[in-house]
A = this chain, B = another copy of it.
Amino acid sequence: MKILVVNPNTSASMTNAIAETARRAASPGTEILAVQPDYGPEAIDCAMESYLSAVAVMDRILTLGEPYDAVVLAGFGEHGREGVQEIVDVPVLDIAECSACVAQLIGRNYSVVTTLQRSVGAIEDRLRLAGLADRCASVRSCGLSTLDVDRDPAAAMEAIVAEAERAVRADHAEVICLGCGGMAGLDEAITARVGVPVVDGVSAGVRLAEAVAGLGLGTSKVCTYAPPDPKAITAWPLSRHIAAADR
């Protein structure tokens, strides 16, 4: 089985880190193909960047020219899953949703610890639309941006563990979801210090993708996620129209 894991931002180092996490989580025999968009932000911390990356991700997938058995979108709370579901037939999974799914299977409720406060709303919205918010005890911010987390993992660790402890004590969370791709690898430290299971989104996404594809299931094409009807779309895919010199 081959799983396409898409880092929604343009940071090659994050793509590599995500690929590594994905490979560690995958079953023997699963191949991971990790890609990133050709344009868009180097990290995603707001709606403007999220929408742009959603389009860049769809573009990257449309122009990939290689087969795969499932797609994992490695942005936590980012836009775009529904769009990708329309343009491919294989299962398309989003790591925020996969984290919540797994968390609900192993605990009564869960909290998400994410980066900036301004991203809390976006994650709450995505979980809500996915029908997975009901047992979310809280979405909490550790006060650092995605780039901060990337730059200083040790400081990030402290901030994230502190917030996870608050979620367990104050919100009675029984599972913690790491609300940012760049947080992979902190699971053990949090479990050790807070005493609850920790779900990493990329790992959860890869394993659930194996499960769904293994069941022989794909996205329902009967209505919402049917392929787009043919129509005139100016300059799409955009990547083919962005001047070579810019890239």
Contacts and interface: CB of A to CB of B under 8 A. Distances in A.
Interface string A86-104: 1100010100011001101
Contact of A128 (B93, B129, B145): B129
Contact count band on A: 35 or more
A87 B132 contact: no
A247 B97 CA distance: 38
B215 A204 contact: yes
Interface string A54-94: 11001000000000000000000001101101110001010
Interface of A: 10, 25, 27, 38-43, 45-52, 54-55, 58, 79-80, 82-83, 85-87, 91, 93, 97-98, 101-102, 104-109, 117-118, 120-122, 125, 128-135, 145, 147, 168, 172, 174-175, 195-197, 199, 203-204, 207-208, 210-212, 214-215, 217-220, 222-226, 228-229, 231-236, 238, 241-244, 246-247
Given A38-B234, A45-B229, A58-B48, A220 B196 contact: yes
